[in-house]
Amino acid sequence: MKVIFLQDNGINESLSVTDVAGLLEDRGHECDLFIEHNERDFYGEVERSRPGLIVIPMDVWGEKKAIDMAGKVKQRVDAPIVFAGTYPLLMPEIIERRGVDIVCVGEAEFPILELAEHIEQGKDYYDIPNLHVRRNGDIIRNDMRPLLQDLDQLPLPDRGIYFKYRFLRDFSIKRFTSGRGCPNACSFCYNAKFREIYRGHGKYVRRKSVRRVIDEIEEMKRIAPMRSIHFSDDLFTDNKKWVLEFCREYSARFDVPWTCNTAVHAVDEEMVDAIKRAGCFGIAMGVETGREFLRMDTLNKPYRDRQVLRVARMIKDKGLYLTSFNMIALPNESIEDALVTVRLNRFLRSDNVRVFFLSPIPRTRLTENAISEGLLRENYDREGAQVLTPEIHSSQMEKLQTLYYLYDVALISPFFEKLVTRMLGARVPGIIKFLLLLPRMLREQKFFNISLFSGIKYFLNTTLPQNRTKNFNNYLP
């Protein structure tokens, strides 16, 4: 049977879609993918493909676009449409929305395989675990199946499903994951909520074998250019024994530079040495805020400044490119608190300081606390996040927004920080905003070792990251 995947933008190549497609194809089904932004006649192409099943990823903040897309597809194609992703797992009541007939809640590979097989065989699909289904006006909510424990049992993902679009095939960096789940319980992240939802359904944090990850990289090397690699796991360094084994195997087979994510508690000198020898170029680490009480109490990241400094210095001393993740406009954060984060990053000597406005994820602990404290509107989960705008109510919102654009200037030195402090009441013109953000794009290009040509080609096809309506980094489509 023909199964097609639809997404609006190619800004993230979904590893989840490639996993589902790989399993479907291994079981004899045909798969294709269409990106609305890159098709002249998107809905015509969907109709001409004559699918038996349509899969539309639905992430947090992407639900409106997904439902709108499905409504237009239904006018031309008489095939079941299933939504899957982070949004249905957080808010399974999406099945009650008009225009939503099938929702996959949780890991999608085997539920979608069963759905495709039932449709092909002309069988009812109303009792498939993980699916919520609308039937004759009624809603059937099936139980969730256990989490997939042995990730190696999945066939190799179909990474080539995206490469009909040359800008994705030729993009010089390729992403991989070494496992699923995150052991941390950060209050702003959906992993803690997912782990709660999945309690009693098997181990949440799982790892592929080293051999499996090597095989995925070998396959990518065969089908597409690969100048650099990034491991998108929230925490690549969680299992030291696994990391050391991987470094030995990787260095014996590849000379492609790579980057990964770590956390303060999950890396030591032996591991950093091994990572460096295996060709790792850079490591990204969550700092989030320079205020310990905000980091520990509000964000539930139990790291003191001295621990953050120790790990940052260790990474830098080994000659690795350090990226630090930071947020601005946290609950009860003042301008002075935000400037403390600037100072900490200056002291860390971070090569690449990433800073984002906090976009609270619905039903996480931070979001629920912010709503109860009157810092966030109650209908936030229905209205969605704004673009480049603080969400948390604060009397200093305009100053925080100005600081976001002037962040790099404040990082230069204490003198420039004082200069920025005096400018926080000013409005930043649009063209100046772009010029101020340009150095951040160039630092990202360096961290990921992206070739200039493929990076420009990618940018022209996807535009700015904040314009995305899909985030496909998570293991759920």
Query: Considering the entire predicted model, what is its pTM?
Result: 0.94
CA distance readout (Å), 331 to 32, 259, 374, 389, 394: 43, 31, 10, 14, 8
pLDDT score of 448 more than 70: yes
Confidence of residue 467 (pLDDT cuts 50, 70, 90): very low
The predicted structure's pLDDT at residue 290: 97
How far, rounded to the nearest angstrom, does the alpha carbon of residue 233 sit from its chain's CA centroid? 9
The predicted structure's pLDDT at residue 387: 65
Give 194's contacts (C-beta < 8 A, 6+ positions apart): 89, 181, 204
Q: Give percent of the chain above pLDDT 90.
A: 85
The predicted structure's pLDDT at residue 464: 55
Count helices and strands (H / E) in the chain.
19, 15
Domains and CATH numbers, the chain: 2-141 (3.40.50.2300), 173-450 (3.80.30.20)
Residue owning tokens 């006649």: 41
The predicted structure's pLDDT at residue 60: 85
Taking all residues of the chain, what is their mean pLDDT, rounded to a whole number? 93
The predicted structure's pLDDT at residue 447: 95
Q: Which of 38, 42, 46, 37 is nearest to 81 (CA)?
A: 46
Confidence of residue 328 (pLDDT cuts 50, 70, 90): very high
The mean-pLDDT minimum among 15-19, 183-187, 197-201, 423-427 falls in: 423-427
Backbone torsions φ then ψ of 128, nearest 5 degrees = -80, 125
SS3 239: coil
For every residue of 365-390, DSSP letters joined together read HHHHHHHHTTSS-TTHHHH-PPSSS-
pLDDT tens column, 104-144: 999 999 999 999 999 999 999 999 999 999 998 899 999 99
